[in-house]
Amino acid sequence: MPKYLSIADQIEQQILSHTLQPGTQLPTEKELMSQFHVSRQTIRNAFSCLLKKKLIYTVKGSGTFVFKSVFPPTNSKNIAVLITDADNYIFPYKSASINGVLTKHGYISNVFVTNNRIDYEENTIREILSTNYAGAIIEITKAVIPRCSKLIAELSQKLPVILIDGYYPDFPEIPYVSLDDRKGGYKATEYLIRHGHKKIFHVGKIDDLQGVLRYQGYVGALTDHGLAFSEDHVFWVTEPLYTNVPEGLMESLCQKIQQCTAVFFYNDDIAAKVVPALLQRGVKIPDDLSVMSYDNSLLSMHPLELSCISYPLNELGWVAAEHLLRRIDDPNFDATYIFEPEIVERSSVRRIADP
C-alpha cells in the first residue's frame, strides 16, 4: 500500500472511532511529516483522500479540521423509513413521496410502522442499528413523552437521520423536516379572531409535539389579540381517545364546544369525529359554530368543507428524502427544513363582527 494511503487510513480510523472528535483540528503538515517521516507531498496526498471522503475540511489560514458529522462508510442502498401509520389519513402520502424520491435515486425504501408507540419505535431502531443501512427517515412518535433510552441519538451517530413532523426535544441536534406547527396554530386561531370570534374552543392532542405546538400557537394568538384564555375552552385528546371518543365524553365535549362561537381542531381526523356529533345535536355550521381544522386532508373537503391549515402532503416526504440523500453525500449539510403554514378557506367559518 502506498505510504499516503496508509496514513490516510490511520487518520480515517481515528476519525470514525471518534479518537479524533468532530471539529478537532488536525496536526499541521509539518507535524505529520515529522510523525510519519514522509514528505510534504505524501501528507498532501493523504489529505486529498480524506477530503474526497468528506472526512476533513480545510479553512484557509486556520488549518485542517475533522468534519463535524462523520458516518462510517457504507455501500448500502437501503434506507430505513419509520412511520407511525401506513394506511390511514395523510400517512400514505408521506411514505409514497419518500419512496418515489429514493427509488428515483437508486435507493430501496424499507418501511417500518411504529403504530405511534414508543416501544415499537425503539425495537425498530435496535433492528436498524444491527443492520447495514445508508440512512433513516423517522416520523416522530409521541415526542413530548420522555424516552427510556438514547437509541435515537445512537442511531443518528451511526448514520444520517432525518426526522419528519417535528423533533425530539432531548435530541435537538438531529435535523428534521416539518410544518411550522406553532405558527399554524397561531394562524388558524387568528383567522377565527379576525372573523370576529372571541370565544374559541380548542381540541388538541397532548401526547404529540405537533399538538403542543399548535396549542401554543392558539394561546399565543389569543394573548396577542387581547383575548382571555380559559381552561374550560380546551379539551385534550390522548392516543386511546383519538381512536374512539366514548359517547358520554363526546356529549360533554359537544356541550363545552357549544359554549363558544368557534372551534379549532388539532386535525381533520378529530374534526371528522366530532363535527358529525355536533350536527346530530342540531348545531349548524357555520351559522351556530365556526370550525377551523388542520391538515387539508380529504376529510376536510367532503362532506364537511372545513377551512383549515394546509399540510404539505407530498412535499414534506419529498424534501425529507432529498435532504437525507444530500446528507449521505455531505454529512454537514444542514438538512432541517420548516414549511410555512397556509390557510385554505372554505365554508365553515362565518364572520360575526368586524374585527
Provide the residue-wise pLDDT of the chain in tens; the chain has 355 residues: 789 999 999 998 888 777 888 778 999 999 999 999 999 999 999 999 988 877 888 877 788 888 776 677 788 999 999 999 888 888 888 999 999 999 999 999 999 999 999 999 999 999 999 999 999 999 999 998 888 788 998 898 889 999 999 999 888 888 999 999 999 999 999 999 999 999 999 999 998 999 999 999 999 999 999 999 999 999 999 876 667 778 888 999 999 999 999 999 999 999 999 999 999 999 999 999 999 999 999 999 988 899 999 999 899 999 999 999 999 988 878 899 999 999 999 999 999 975 4
How far is 305 from 345, CA to CA, in rounded Å?
9
- 244: number of Cβ within 10 Å: 10
Say if residue 287 is exposed, middle or buried (CB neighbours under 10 Å; 0-12, 13-18, 19+). exposed
Neighbour-count burial of 137, counting CB atoms closer than 10 A to its CB (0-12 exposed, 13-18 middle, 19+ buried):
buried
Nearest in space to 138 (alpha carbons), one of 204, 147, 155: 155
Count up the domains in the chain and report the number: 3
- The three cell numbers of residue 266 are 388539532
The shares of helix, strand and coil residues in the chain, as percent rounded to the nearest 5, are 40, 20, 40
7 shares its domain with 130: no
| Statement to judge: residues 26 and 37 lie in one domain | yes
3-class secondary-structure state, position 81: strand
- Domain assignment present for residue 31? The answer is yes
Domain membership of residue 352 (yes or no) is: no
The 8-class DSSP code of residue 255 comes to: H
User: 283 and 188 in one domain?
Assistant: yes
Q: Cα separation of 299 and 269, whole Å?
A: 7
Q: Where are the alpha helices (DSSP H) in 90-150?
A: 91-104, 118-129
Max CA pair span of the chain: 88
Structural domain for 15, as ranges: 3-66
Nearest CA to 255 out of 281, 284, 228, 276 is that of 281
pLDDT of 355 reads: 45
Q: Look at residue 354 and tell me if it is in a domain.
A: no
Establish if 327 belongs to a structural domain.
yes
Picking from 102, 89, 91, the residue whose alpha carbon sits closest to that of residue 136 is 102
Residue 30 inside a domain? The answer is yes
The pTM of this model reads 0.82
Helices (H), ranges, 118-267: 118-129, 151-158, 181-194, 209-224, 239-243, 247-257
Report the CATH number that the domain containing residue 281 is assigned in CATH: 3.40.50.2300
Q: Omega of the bond prior to 146 within 30 degrees of 0, cis?
A: no
Q: Is 275 exposed, middle or buried (0-12, 13-18, 19+ CB in 10 A)?
A: buried
Q: Which residues pair with 291 in a beta bridge?
A: 263
**Same domain as 318, residue 308:** no
Residues 174 and 113 in one domain: yes
Bridge partners of 287, per DSSP, are none
**Model pLDDT, residue 90:** 85
Is 157 within a domain? Answer: yes
Specify whether 174 is located in the same domain as 195.
no
So what's the pLDDT on residue 70? 67
